[in-house]
């Protein structure tokens, strides 16, 4: 895989990375769990697609390589503090999280399909997701984050769905993980990290703030929507 990155990807993606406002790169990419996970997924997808004469390589470039490289080159991404001039800097730690109180997720520890790696969303978030998505979250103008993510119904629903998608996608050894990142994880995390999103009032320093309320809803006039006729069911 390192050969694939050095000899293949590195030659295709020649970018201006010495001025970090445009694109950032870390020459020690292998020190970044996210970069390793994405580039490994990219390599597997390449192995599965490059022989396909019906446009496999084009598909791989557009649907796999370009979006992953965009994430890695992003000045707010995993290489934020690294650079060609400064070299690697070990600044970004795992996303800070506090474990939920006992009992909060007990109902989620029910049955799971055979072969799943994580028993529930909490274990998935603690042991995988937070390790992979290392972002600058203490200065919230960049990305918002709440260490008590489990206090936010939206985060619980999105991350639970993300865990299930991961368990499903990884069963496709070639394109599975690459698709999981691009089609599920990146868009979901973008919603959560959005400074105007569900974690708007929470910060890593001050902790969880219960400011975001349910969407206000006034009861609709009676008869406006008719319930489905139960006799038709």
Q: Which is nearer to Zn ion, 71 or 175 (CB)?
A: 71
Q: Which is nearer to Zn ion, 26 or 185 (CB)?
A: 26
The site string for Zn ion over 12-41 (x = CB under 5 A, - otherwise) reads --------------x---------------
From the CB of 102, what's the least distance to Zn ion, in Å?
A: 19
Q: Candidates 47-55, 105-113, 185-193, 201-209: pick the segment binding Zn ion (CB under 5 A).
A: 201-209
Q: What is the 3-state secondary structure (H, E, C) of 109-169?
A: CCCCCCCCCCCCHHHHHHHHHHHHCCCCCCCCCCCCCCCCHHHCHHHHHHHHHHHHHHHHH
Q: Candidates 42-50, 88-96, 119-127, 176-184: pick the segment binding Zn ion (CB under 5 A).
A: 88-96
As given in the structure block, the two tokens for residue 200 are 């708007």
Chain CA centroid to CA 8, Å: 25
At 207, give phi and psi (nearest 5°): 85, -165
Window 58-87: residues binding Zn ion (CB under 5 A): 82
From the CB of 219, what's the least distance to Zn ion, in Å?
A: 29
Task: Decide if residue 200 touches Zn ion (CB under 5 A).
Answer: no
203 bridge partner residues: 207
From residue 44, give the alpha-carbon distance in Å to each of 16, 32, 48, 195.
26, 18, 6, 34
Q: Which is nearer to Zn ion, 82 or 159 (CB)?
A: 82
From the CB of 222, what's the least distance to Zn ion, in Å?
A: 36
Q: Which of 69, 95, 121, 202 forms a contact with Zn ion (CB under 5 A)?
A: 202
From residue 131, give the alpha-carbon distance in Å to each of 15, 38, 136.
27, 13, 13
Q: Which is nearer to Zn ion, 97 or 162 (CB)?
A: 97
Q: Which of 13, 33, 36, 88 forms a contact with Zn ion (CB under 5 A)?
A: 88
Q: Which of 23, 49, 146, 182 forms a contact with Zn ion (CB under 5 A)?
A: 146
Expressed in percent and rounded to 5, the helix, strand and coil fractions of the chain are 45, 0, 55
Please tell me the count of residues contacting Zn ion according to CB under 5 A: 6
Q: Which of 116, 167, 208, 212 forms a contact with Zn ion (CB under 5 A)?
A: 208
Q: Which is nearer to Zn ion, 26 or 159 (CB)?
A: 26
For 65, how many CA atoms within 13 A lie in the half-sphere containing its CB? 21
Q: Give the burial class of 126: count Cβ atoms within 10 A of its Cβ; 0-12 exposed, 13-18 middle, 19 or more buried.
A: middle
User: Could you list the residues that contact Zn ion (CB under 5 A)?
Assistant: 26, 82, 88, 146, 202, 208
């Amino acid at each position: 895989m390192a050969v694939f990155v050095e000899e293949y990807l590195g030659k295709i993606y020649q970018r201006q990375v010495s001025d970090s406002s445009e694109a950032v790169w870390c020459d020690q990419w292998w020190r970044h769990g996210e970069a390793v996970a994405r580039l490994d997924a990219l390599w597997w997808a390449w192995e599965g697609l490059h022989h396909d004469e019906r446009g496999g390589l084009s598909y791989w470039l557009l649907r796999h390589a370009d979006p992953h490289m965009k994430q890695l080159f992003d000045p707010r991404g995993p290489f934020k503090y690294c650079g060609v001039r400064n070299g690697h800097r070990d600044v970004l730690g795992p996303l800070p999280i506090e474990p939920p109180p006992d009992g909060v997720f007990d109902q989620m520890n029910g049955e799971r399909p055979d072969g799943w790696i994580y028993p529930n969303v909490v274990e998935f978030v603690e042991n995988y997701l937070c390790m992979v998505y290392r972002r600058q979250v203490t200065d919230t103008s960049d990305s918002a984050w709440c260490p008590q993510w489990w206090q936010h119904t939206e985060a619980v629903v999105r991350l639970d769905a993300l865990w299930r998608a991961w368990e499903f996608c990884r069963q496709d050894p070639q394109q599975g993980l690459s698709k999981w990142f691009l089609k599920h994880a990146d868009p979901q995390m973008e919603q959560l990290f959005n400074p105007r999103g569900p974690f708007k009032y929470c910060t890593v320093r001050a902790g969880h703030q219960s400011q975001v309320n349910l969407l206000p809803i006034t009861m609709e006039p009676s008869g406006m929507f008719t319930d489905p006729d139960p006799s038709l069911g």
